[in-house]
Amino acid sequence: MGGTSHEREISLKTGNAILNALQEMGYKAVGIEVSFDIVKRLLDEKIDVAFIALHGRWGEDGTVQGLLELLRIPYTGSGVLASALAMNKIKTKEIFLYHGIPTPEFVIPGEEEPQELPFPPPWVVKPASEGSTIGVSIAYDKEALGEALHRARQYDRQILIERFILGKELTVGILKGEPFPIVEIVPKSGFYDYRAKYTPGMTEYIIPARIEEHKQQEVQRWSLKAYDVLGCSGCARVDLFLSNAGEIYITEVNTLPGMTETSLVPKAAAYKGISFPQLVQIILEEASLKIEGGQGEKR
């Protein structure tokens, strides 16, 4: 837990919630704060399995997964490749396009501010590899676009401009290839930014989402497909929109979704009668090494 990304604080919350649940269930669990001495810490603690509770770079992006593969320590969630792909919104969308998964139109701007865009404002400007809405802005005109590009570039060299989708914001948790009920996200004001995500009471969550039964199934099917084409495993969460015209647009896949007791996946699990400790246990039991073959010692 913890780590050195911009989402460190959220990761500590996720990590402590998981640690408490594991200890309450009687597991011999230790909290390991990830820092530059992580290799030594992992070797010193002599752990059997790693429950990854990191968000963002150096944790959700395949780097820690790669380290655990090298050390032959089974870990929860997605492997190196799926983690790396899902962390990068541009790569994710390129794979979606290849597989015919609907995703909002987008462009990758060059160094110069684009003179013309192929779709009208508002424009959603995002760093390719962040989370928690960090560096994301919605620009309503050309002037705001310049500021939004500047802001996103402070977080990443790679950025994207997406078509704004007007409609319902939805998210679908997936566990072991099974979609959870859809969560509808309704921020009380503005959009679902960092504050709306983490300040209690600033966003309303509706489970199951207020959409027709056949649409719910369609949303769950596309979400599962998004998880599959990236090669995800264990628990992940797919973010998407249902436009007012009834079209589905998948925006991203989170391979390490928030896991505090009030986060979205635990909320959806609770709706299905799965308690937080039960959810933690299911994720733990799915832990594995994902890279096969090779020679040498097995731990």
Ligand X SMILES: Nc1ncnc2c1ncn2[C@@H]1O[C@H](COP(=O)(O)OP(=O)(O)O)[C@@H](O)[C@H]1O
Nearest to ligand X of 136, 149 (CB atom) = 136
Upstream peptide bond of 257 is cis (omega within 30 degrees of 0): no
Residue 87 contact among ligand X, Mg ion, none, beta carbon within 5 to 8 Å by kind: none
Question: CA torsion 278→184→60→221, rounded to 10°?
Answer: 80
- Using alpha carbons, select from 265, 102, 242, 244 the residue that is nearest to residue 183: 265
Is 239 near Mg ion (CB under 5 A)? yes
Is 191 near ligand X (CB under 6 A)? yes
Q: Quick check: is 252 catalytic?
A: yes
Q: Quick check: is 271 catalytic?
A: no
Give the range of 44-52, 64-72, 129-137, 198-206 binding ligand X by CB under 6 A: 129-137
From the list 75, 198, 227, 249, the catalytic residue is: 198
Q: Quick check: is 35 catalytic?
A: no
Q: Quick check: is 37 catalytic?
A: no
Residue 57 contact among ligand X, Mg ion, none, beta carbon within 5 to 8 Å by kind: none
Q: Quick check: is 237 catalytic?
A: yes
Nearest to ligand X of 164, 205 (CB atom) = 164
Is 132 near ligand X (CB under 6 A)? yes
What does the per-residue mask of binding to ligand X show for 238-257, with x meaning CB under 6 A?
A: -x-----------xx-----
Q: Quick check: is 7 catalytic?
A: yes
Q: Quick check: is 132 catalytic?
A: yes
Give the residue carrying structure tokens 């160094």.
111
Q: Quick check: is 111 catalytic?
A: no
From the list 223, 233, 254, 263, the catalytic residue is: 254
Distance, C-alpha 236 to centroid of its chain: 7
Upstream peptide bond of 120 is cis (omega within 30 degrees of 0): no
Nearest to ligand X of 65, 203 (CB atom) = 203
Residues that bind Mg ion (CB under 5 A): 239
Residues that bind ligand X (CB under 6 A): 104, 124, 126, 130-133, 136, 162, 164-165, 169, 191-192, 239, 251-252
List, by residue number, the catalytic residues.
7, 132, 198, 237, 239, 252, 254, 258
